[in-house]
Amino acid sequence: MAGYTDLPFRRACRRYGLYYGTTALIDAGALVHGNPDSVAILHRGEEEEWLQVQLLGSIPTDIRTSTRILRDGPWHFDALNFNMGCPVRKVIKRLAGAALMNQPVRALECLKEMRDNWPGVLTVKMRILKEDNPEPTIKLAQRLEAIGVQGLAIHGRLARMLYSGPVHTQIIRAVRESVKIPVIANGGIFRLEDAQRLSKETGCEQVMVARGAIGVPWIFRDIATGTTIPVSREELLDVMTEHVDQMVQEYGEKGAMILSRKIISSYLGGRGFPHELRAQVVNIATWQDFIALRSQLTACPVQVTDCHG
């Protein structure tokens, strides 16, 4: 999730049991050309036991070089993931992300470069190709397996649907039953019940949580325990504060406060906090601004609702 899945975000999720973490998307071309923002995405915490790096691109030579950079760099990632599922328009226009599913020859060429230059685990994130016919998605999955991909995460929506509409679990199930490598189900998980339903309908033992973890890092605890555990206002504000503090350490106060505005809003939205307090988030510019807002949130007399996600 571009703009979210950085080290502070992962640390908030790991607090609640996340183990298999993934970096935000890193563009192969940007990495090859030394873009400092791309390098920052690769920052791994010393305490992170398992971390997968997620690569985006469609030019085989860039894929080859960027894979070698990731292989030989100081990060020691546990797996390399090739993104063939991103539906964002600017990515599709570059024939990358989900656009590659309709260009299997180029996709396989890129993956061959990755397989030849990456000694570890290689996985792919993809989407379904048709809603009413599993065969195109199965065929692509089998070709990926044949070239050496060791795991698939499948979002059960067409690329043009972005993140709306039903998740076509029957397509994911059909793929799972047609390949020998692990298949992870993805799409529409915002609560424990969503994860349980997706696992049951697809037959996948593992599911992937994405946008559902934004502002709700405790969703991983709920899934791991099989129980929705209520989160108090105090715990919510404590996790939020720790998250923002980690961002200050990662980016410096000025940059962190700008980046943190959407993070703070994600923790506060839809939970009963007064609009006049939530509206202050857009003006936060310093750590002291944040602490002042937190004090007001702690003191406001309303009953905070829906803190379980």
pLDDT tens sequence across 3-26: 889 999 999 999 999 999 999 999
* Measured distance CA(24)–CA(6) in Å, rounded: 6
Reported as a single tens digit per residue, the pLDDT across 189-232 is 999 999 999 999 999 999 999 999 999 999 999 999 999 999 99
Whole-angstrom distance, CA of residue 188 vs CA of residue 63 = 30
Looking at residue 149, what is its pLDDT? 98
**Residue 41, φ and ψ in degrees, nearest 5:** -60, -30
CB atoms within 10 A of CB 227: 9
Q: What is the structure's pLDDT at 35?
A: 83
Closest CA to 137 of 109, 97, 177, 166: 177
Residue 179 has pLDDT above 80, yes or no: yes
Fold entry, domain 7-225? TIM Barrel (3.20.20)
Q: Is 252 left (phi over 0), alpha (psi -120 to 50) or beta?
A: left
- Counting residues of the chain whose pLDDT is more than 70, the rounded percentage is 97
Is the CB of residue 98 less than 8 Å from the CB of residue 86? yes
78 in helix, strand or coil? coil
Return the CATH architecture of domain 233-299: Orthogonal Bundle (1.10)
Q: What is the pLDDT of residues 251-303, one digit of tens each?
A: 999 999 999 999 999 999 988 899 999 999 999 999 999 999 999 999 987 66
Q: Count other Cβ atoms within 10 Å, centred on residue 59.
A: 19
Q: Where in the chain is the domain with CATH 1.10.1200?
A: 233-299
The overall average pLDDT reported for the chain is: 94
pLDDT tier at 2, thresholds 50, 70, 90: confident
Q: Which two tokens stand for residue 230?
A: 């209520």
* pLDDT given at position 39: 83
Enumerate the β-bridge partners of residue 125: 83, 153
Residue 3, strand partner residues: none
Residues 118-132 have a mean pLDDT of: 96
Residue 308 pLDDT > 60, yes or no? no
Question: What does the block give as tokens for 160?
Answer: 């043009």
Q: Which of the following is catalytic: 13, 86, 110, 204?
A: 86
The verdict on pTM exceeding 0.75 is yes
Confidence of residue 307 (pLDDT cuts 50, 70, 90): low
Residues sharing a CB contact under 8 Å with residue 89, sequence separation 6 or more, in sequence order? none
What mean pLDDT comes out for the span 122-148?
97
- 248 CA to centre of own chain: 21
> What pLDDT shows up at residue 40?
85
Which pLDDT belongs to residue 300?
A: 84
Q: In this predicted model, what pLDDT tens digit does every residue of 161-176 receive, in sequence order?
A: 999 999 999 999 999 9
Q: Which pLDDT does position 197 carry in this prediction?
A: 97
Q: What share of the chain has pLDDT > 90, as a percent? A: 91
Q: What was the pLDDT predicted at 128?
A: 97
Q: Determine whether 110 is an active site residue.
A: no
Q: Is 220 exposed, middle or buried (0-12, 13-18, 19+ CB in 10 A)?
A: buried
Instruction: Kindly state the tokens that stand for 274.
Output: 């007064």
| pLDDT at res. 34 | 86
Helical residues (DSSP H) of 73-187, grouped into ranges? 89-93, 104-117, 135-147, 169-176
